[in-house]
Amino acid sequence: MDIEDQNLTKTLPLQLQFYEEGSETKVFESMQESRSVYNDTIRLAKQGDDWDDIRRQMEQDANLVKNNTQLVVKKALEAMENYYEYDDYNMPSHTKIGPYPLRMNHTEGYTLSLTDDGDVEFRISPKPYNPVRGTVVGDPVHLDVLKTALSSDEWKIGTAEALFPDGRAELHVNVTHQTQTVRDKTDSQTVIGVDVNEDNIALTAMDETGVLDTLVIDFPEIKSERHRYFTMKKRMQNAGKPSYKNVVRDREYRFVHDRLHKLSRAVVEFAKRFPDPCIALEDLKDMRESIDYGTRMNRRLHAMPFRATQVFIAYKAAFECIPIASVEAEYTSQGCALTGCEHAERANRRRKRFKCKSCGHQDHSDRNASVNVAKRGLEKCMLDVPTLKSLPQVRKVRRWASGRVNRPTSSLVTA
């Protein structure tokens, strides 16, 4: 997915309340069948079978609505395609355990409608010719968006997933705003340079007059939790316990994505402070191909969700009508951000300290990279790149579960 091709789509998590007893069991059984379809698709793809043949075989063998089968197969083949294109470290598993989300298209696998009482009623077909019915409940904000989408031609109800997080039936519905448009990036006045790292995100707001503000958001908990889950996985594997895939890995996934949603929201809130902003993100499509720093470091870097972070930022920015500019990532971490040193001898960052070999400028290494990203973003937006002789002090924020802890720090100290 190109991060500049922003889709104005929201995912609304809703709980299912069934009319008839036994309906929840039917949905659960269909999700187990969905898991079998996913696993068989991955297994056949690994064997080298033709993907069109796999699609036809799954449609014939699966005990699901044809459209639902097609969507699950599509999801599995997309996982294989992403592996081949972006990631040479973790091939998708064909041994998923537990129920797998049942994917459905609106009006084909499921239907939503407004009742006379103002509730939202659902009809789901977990098996062919065997629908279940009920109502959805959940966050009032999510329900308001869904009701607006059902009653307005400006919105489109898209695919949905039925799943059982924490043992309760939920329906995650995608809704897309079809008339809201994102402003063209060439109409921007301010560019927010974003440098994504394994333990922080560095932000720099810049316009044609210079740097307006900078912020470094620390999130060391993702790195530490990923390492903790990796250790748990190895110990469970050594002990012969197969439960990692459906217990520990799900917890890790939910933890990481929760943090990424909060971080991406913070980035967009920072951008909204400035007039007509555009968020500049590095093009990391081929980044994994260049990672070769030894087994331990390779595992750490391959595990970090750099691209997922950018995707979350892009789609949240789209709903605020903030455009995204994708810039070249080469040498953003090694070039000096001060004007006149960009093409000088490349400097090597040491931990969080950057020192230019040409002018002696010292800075927080990630903030320095974000300034370089912002400058390239200005060029993408057809704006003049200002002359920089100095940079403002670095502000750092560390996010914990209890909230934010502000730690204003000068660039000299952080360097």
Type and span of the H or E element at 363: strand 362-364
Residue 396's beta-bridge partner residues? 216, 407
Residues of the chain with CATH 3.30.420.10: 185-414
Name the pLDDT band for 412 (thresholds 50, 70, 90).
very low
299-351 pLDDT, tens digit per residue, is 444 456 677 788 888 878 888 889 999 999 888 888 888 865 555 456 666 77
Q: Look at residue 376 in the predicted model and tell me its pLDDT.
A: 94
Q: Using one digit for the tens of pLDDT, what is the confidence trace for 124-150?
A: 999 888 899 999 998 887 888 899 889
185-414: CATH number: 3.30.420.10
H runs (alpha helix) in 62-129: 66-86
> Residue 40 pLDDT > 80, yes or no?
yes
Q: Which residues pair with 170 in a beta bridge?
A: 15, 163
Taking only the tens place, the pLDDT of each residue in 225-246 is 766 767 777 777 676 665 555 5
Residue 408 banded pLDDT, cuts 50, 70, 90:
very low
* Chain Cα centroid distance, residue 370: 20
